Structure 1
Amino acid sequence: MSQARGVPPLSDRTVWRVGLNTVALVSLVLLVRAAWQVITWILVALFLALALEPLVSWLQRRGLRRGLAVLTVCLSFVALLVVLLRSVVPLCLHQLRLLLEEAPLLFGKLRRTGAFAWLDSHLELGALIHERLRQGGSGSLHSMVELARRVFIGVGAAIAVSFLSLFMLLFGRDVVDSLLGWFEPDKRERLLGLAQRMSHRVGGYVGGALLLAAMEGTVVGIVLLSVGVPYFLPLALLVALLAIVPLMGSALSAVLLGVTTLASTGMHAALVVLGVYLAYAQLDAHVLRPLVQRHTIQMNPLLITVVVLLGAGIAGLLGTLLALPVAAAVQVLLQDVRARREALRRSSA
């Protein structure tokens, strides 16, 4: 077949370059896949460090050196953790153990309700739960080994993330300065400003999300305690954790609170808890959370939904948690690129 007119032949150098670039890209994808767990730890540590950065900066503005400011913030959180471990955690574990021991009794009470009877008749919910419990009960030794393995991994991840966050607060600016040294002097100021805007938005969003989660868990705990639910601490903690999950967290919390309160305390208490929680969820969704997002990520609600769904599809629950902070950083980068293009267009006009 004759060569097309006007199309130059591919040189050996071009073929080798394309082949090497392809091999490098595939190798990078495989490397990221193999080290994905460690990468997730680094991302979580980065977002925690960005959330603590405003406190460190506030202490620095009060005259403390950065190292002493970081030490003060970390020791404060360690002291808070010790207080929780000595006071709240034992009671929470006691209530959790009580909840697990009374789970069969609560399930029996739940089966006698009209709502469960309707679900059981249409979805065979009782058979599904019994089958799930039977599968969970079989192979108890394997389940205990798997549980011990997950606890070991979780403790190791918590230690690694804690130290990574500490080192990022202490030495993160030195790393940024070293990376900026690879660029031309006229570009360093723009890149530094870009990094600072990313840090401000991501840190503000993460800190605001953690604060809203703590507020929601506190409100739920007070309401559960007031209506006499004996497991108010573990339920409030679980609701606070679910509050960090965008979109799906509120729905899961409502189901959890309604079912548990109905089975343990009765229909009247369940209606009160659900009513208060749904009212607070509306306040959170339409006032508190938009207030945080407007001052941090500044993203359209439709785009937020798409980003969260993409994160969930790519990396599950972790992707759901990390989707918005990553999108906030990418948004800052895209806004900078657009501003530079508009400035070049105006200068050339």
Structure 2
Amino acid sequence: MSSGPSVARTVLTATLTVLAVVGAIVLVYLLRQPLTWLALACFVAVAVSGPVGRLSKVMPRGLAITLVYLGVLLIPALVALIVLPPLLHAANDLVDQAPRYADDVQRWVHENETLRELDDEFDLVAQLQKQADELPARVGDAASWLGDLGMGIVNGIFAGVTILILSIFLVAGGRRPVETALELTIPQHAGRIGATLDRMAKAVGSYIAGALVQATIAGTLAFVVMTVLGVPFAGPLAVLVGLFGLIPMVGATIAAVIVGIVTLFQDFPTATIAWVVWAIVYQQVENTLIQPRIQKRAVGVPALGVMVAMLFGSALLGVLGALVAVPVAASLQIGVRDWRAWRAEQVLPLLEPPDDAAAEPPDDDPPTDPAPAPA
């Protein structure tokens, strides 16, 4: 007769649990934007904690934080000053010179028999000439697109400032937020969790430092090669090569394609062929020598894990997600390894025989019957 209240209590508990889980999921979905900003702020705080810690040894911590964040703010400003003016100038030249480029293409098509046959079948030159003639008139129609782009830039700046402010508070607190969070855990596990978090922070800092070194090498060498080939806007293009080099796996390829398109309008086919050969050779050297030496000790994530992490990160946060995907994957890998080590330590004593049984020697001889008494 007592089973009725027990069943009702079980059903009520299960219902309340399901409702709580659903409510938590809905709450996380509604707060997804500030939670994403907070996660990025934690990432930035971990990234700058290394330089801040080194500078704090020779100056007050507040001054060290100020200098590091001034550097963080100056880098995007310098990149914009280097890249944007030549990019706008090149866009204006493209609009002005589009009809001439179309005439050059038409001349190449008429001089080549294969291209001439394709043009006779698909009328490619006429369509290209038509689009080139209409391009200057379409520039005025881009006002609405530029307005949307401006709003996107404003929203991005607001998000970036918010993330930086959150990260400043996290860095200013030092280890206090981590220690406060560890106090909420089980006391005997706090030391292990703290050590795991320290390894994650070290992996993230090492990855960022290695990625910056790798991007600097790529940009510097690209600038030298483009200067030798006489490619215009070698400085801004080298900066773009370095920025795209921060994106694992595919960033260097995208940058090489962009520079290759520029060489088409500068000295085709000599500069284009030379740049393609250089890009292929350098990517092989980077993938086999530079990147393994820089990043192997930092993260140790396999190539398949890097690609999967990039796909997930880009799907969630776009380019920014692709940039932070590898250190996040490395942190998850460290967490999983430490959890498995802890589980092994918990299970191993259960598999070992008790000490009393191990101390007693095995009795291999069978018992013998006593000798019969003499008659």
| TM-score of Structure 1 vs Structure 2, range by shorter chain | 0.7 to 0.9
Q: Equivalent residue for 2:55?
A: 59
**CA 1:72–1:109 in 2, change beyond 3 Å: closer, same or farther?**
farther
After superposition, give the CA deviation of every residue in 1:205-234 in whole Å (9 maximum; x if it has no partner).
123223322332232233223322222233
TM-score (norm 1): 0.81
**CA 1:108–1:286 in 2, change beyond 3 Å: closer, same or farther?**
farther
| Larger displacement relative to structure 2 (62-71 or 206-215) | 62-71
Q: Equivalent residue for 1:185?
A: 187
**Aligned 8 A contact 1:201 1:328 in 2:** yes
**CA 1:277–1:37 in 2, change beyond 3 Å: closer, same or farther?**
farther
User: What pairs up with 1:70-89 in 2 under 5 angstroms?
Assistant: 70-77=65-72, 81=75, 85=78, 89=80
Q: Equivalent residue for 2:347?
A: 345
Q: Equivalent residue for 2:93?
A: 102
Query: Is structure 2 residue 32 aligned with structure 1 residue 36?
Result: yes
Aligned match of 1:15 in 11, 27, 38?
Answer: 11
Q: CA deviation at 1:246?
A: 2.1
1:9 and 1:109 map into 2 onto residues whose CA distance is 88
**Aligned 8 A contact 1:47 1:206 in 2:** no
**Aligned 8 A contact 1:311 1:322 in 2:** yes
Which structure would you say has the larger Rg? 2
2:17 and 2:104 map into 1 onto residues whose CA distance is 60
Paired residues in the alignment total: 337
| Larger displacement relative to structure 2 (99-108 or 338-347) | 99-108
**Aligned 8 A contact 2:82 2:236 in 1:** no
- Aligned to 1:167, the other structure's residue is in SS state helix
Structure 1 counterpart of 2:12, which letter? Answer: W
After superposition, give the CA deviation of every residue in 1:8-35 in whole Å (9 maximum; x if it has no partner).
9983333333333333333333343343
1:288 and 1:110 map into 2 onto residues whose CA distance is 41
Q: Equivalent residue for 2:22?
A: 26
After superposition, give the CA deviation of every residue in 1:124-174 in whole Å (9 maximum; x if it has no partner).
998699599799758433213202201211221222222223222112521
Q: Equivalent residue for 1:92?
A: 83
1:12 and 1:134 map into 2 onto residues whose CA distance is 75
Query: Is structure 2 residue 163 aligned with structure 1 residue 161?
Result: yes
Structure 2 counterpart of 1:66, which letter? Answer: R
1:14 and 1:204 map into 2 onto residues whose CA distance is 50
1:110 and 1:43 map into 2 onto residues whose CA distance is 51
Structure 2 counterpart of 1:93, which letter? Answer: L
Task: Report 1 or 2 for greater relative contact order, CA contacts < 8 Å, sequence distance ≥ 6.
Answer: 1
**Aligned 8 A contact 1:48 1:206 in 2:** no
1:101 and 1:196 map into 2 onto residues whose CA distance is 50
**CA 1:333–1:92 in 2, change beyond 3 Å: closer, same or farther?**
closer
**CA 1:50–1:288 in 2, change beyond 3 Å: closer, same or farther?**
farther
Q: CA deviation at 1:268?
A: 1.2
**CA 1:71–1:297 in 2, change beyond 3 Å: closer, same or farther?**
same
1:172 and 1:22 map into 2 onto residues whose CA distance is 38
TM-score (norm 2): 0.76
User: What pairs up with 1:286-297 in 2 under 5 angstroms?
Assistant: 286-297=288-299
**Aligned 8 A contact 1:110 1:262 in 2:** no
The Cα RMSD (Å) is: 3.7
User: What pairs up with 1:298-313 in 2 under 5 angstroms?
Assistant: 298-313=300-315
Q: Equivalent residue for 1:260?
A: 262
2:224 and 2:25 map into 1 onto residues whose CA distance is 47
Aligned match of 2:232 in 211, 218, 230?
Answer: 230
Q: CA deviation at 1:286?
A: 1.5
- Aligned to 1:298, the other structure's residue is in SS state coil
Question: Which sections of structure 2, spanning at least 5 residues, go unmatched?
Answer: 353-375
2:222 and 2:230 map into 1 onto residues whose CA distance is 12
Aligned match of 1:245 in 247, 260, 263?
Answer: 247
Q: Equivalent residue for 2:373?
A: none
**Aligned 8 A contact 2:62 2:172 in 1:** yes
Structure 2 counterpart of 1:254, which letter? Answer: A
**Aligned 8 A contact 2:83 2:237 in 1:** no
1:304 and 1:315 map into 2 onto residues whose CA distance is 16
Question: Which sections of structure 1, spanning at least 5 residues, go unmatched?
Answer: 1-6
